[in-house]
Amino acid sequence: MRKNIDIDEVLLTKLKIISAFENMSVKSLMEKAISFFVEQKEKERFNALSKEEKEDLGLLLLMQQTDRTDIVDEQEVMNVLKSIQ
């Protein structure tokens, strides 16, 4: 996807200098910086969740990984529940 953004000339100059030191293009440097920023915000948001919200999120992620075509009959579920008690 291609997006045009306006960047201040001073910031652009700094980006060019950093990209030269890092031996990468300005584009890849910006992509790396944006990815890092998004990752940090995700971590901040996750750390702000309560223990219960983290458990709910973990359960949601596990549920998304399940095979929806795999079917278990009721009796098998009841047997597992009985064995837990």
Going by pLDDT thresholds of 50, 70 and 90, the confidence category of residue 4 is confident
- pLDDT tens-place string over residues 35-66: 999 999 999 999 999 999 999 999 999 989 88
Q: Which of 6, 45, 13, 40 is nearest to 29 (CA)?
A: 13
Q: Is the pTM of this model over 0.75?
A: no
3-state secondary structure 3-67: CCCCCCHHHHHHHHHHHHHHCCCHHHHHHHHHHHHHHHHHHHHHHCCCHHHHHHHHHHHHHHHCC
State the pLDDT at residue 57.
92
State the pLDDT at residue 1.
74
Q: Which two tokens stand for residue 12?
A: 């652009």
Q: Cα angle vertex 37, ends 34, 44, to 5°?
A: 155
Q: Which two tokens stand for residue 7?
A: 């960047």
